[in-house]
Amino acid sequence: MTCPVLGSIFIHRDRKIPDITNQGVLRGEEAMKIKKGDHVVVITGDDESSSPRLVLQVLAGGQKMVIQGVNQVYKHVKRGHPKSPSGGRLQIEMPIQSSNVMYYCESCQKPTRLGLRYDDDGAKVRYCKKCDTSCGEAISPKRTKYAKAGS
């Protein structure tokens, strides 16, 4: 393989070469299935429960997410903090690994897995693998910055 800058370069046969499609999205990377505003069920960990909870934020390209009432910590703040002008303890949610949650399907009222397909207009949409209902458009993975939780 020849590179215009470096000339001939050696690439290990087993090494994965990032393959960028015309949309600027890394191929081979799965589209983010769960997005902000969805409901999920936490299936493992300290906050494991069968009740659906709201996703507040999706971070790190879909690998982590902040879920309402899950992984709550106390943050001690000084006076003048915008969320607590008198200071004290603020209860905020910290992100958890996305592998610990399952998407909650509103139409079949069950935790389920999502599939991806193209609808008649050519848009990539998610669908419930249990009841086959479409669950809105899928979003392409984006390298999101590790944002501060609760902000």
Which one, 20 or 131, has the nearer CB to Zn ion? 131
Residues ≥6 apart with Cβ < 8 Å to 104: 38, 39, 40, 41, 52, 110, 111, 112
Assess contact for 67 and 55: CB atoms under 8 A: yes
Q: Distance between CA atoms of 109 and 107, rounded to whole angstroms?
A: 6
Letters for 51-90 (x = contact with Zn ion by CB under 5 A, - = none) are ----------------------------------------
Other Cβ atoms less than 10 A from the Cβ of 46: the count is 10
Of residues 89 through 128, those in contact with Zn ion by CB under 5 A are 105, 107-108, 128
Q: Distance between CA atoms of 128 and 51, rounded to whole angstroms?
A: 18
Considering only 130, 134, 142, 147, the residue that binds Zn ion (CB under 5 A) is: 130
Which one, 89 or 129, has the nearer CB to Zn ion? 129
- Determine, following the binding rule CB under 5 A, whether residue 131 of this chain makes contact with Zn ion: yes
Of 60-68, 69-77, 84-92, 131-139, the segment contacting Zn ion by CB under 5 A is 131-139
- What minimum distance in Å lies between the beta carbon of 151 and Zn ion? 33
- What minimum distance in Å lies between the beta carbon of 52 and Zn ion? 12
Q: Distance between CA atoms of 34 and 18, rounded to whole angstroms?
A: 24
Binding site for Zn ion (CB under 5 A): 105, 107-108, 128, 130-131
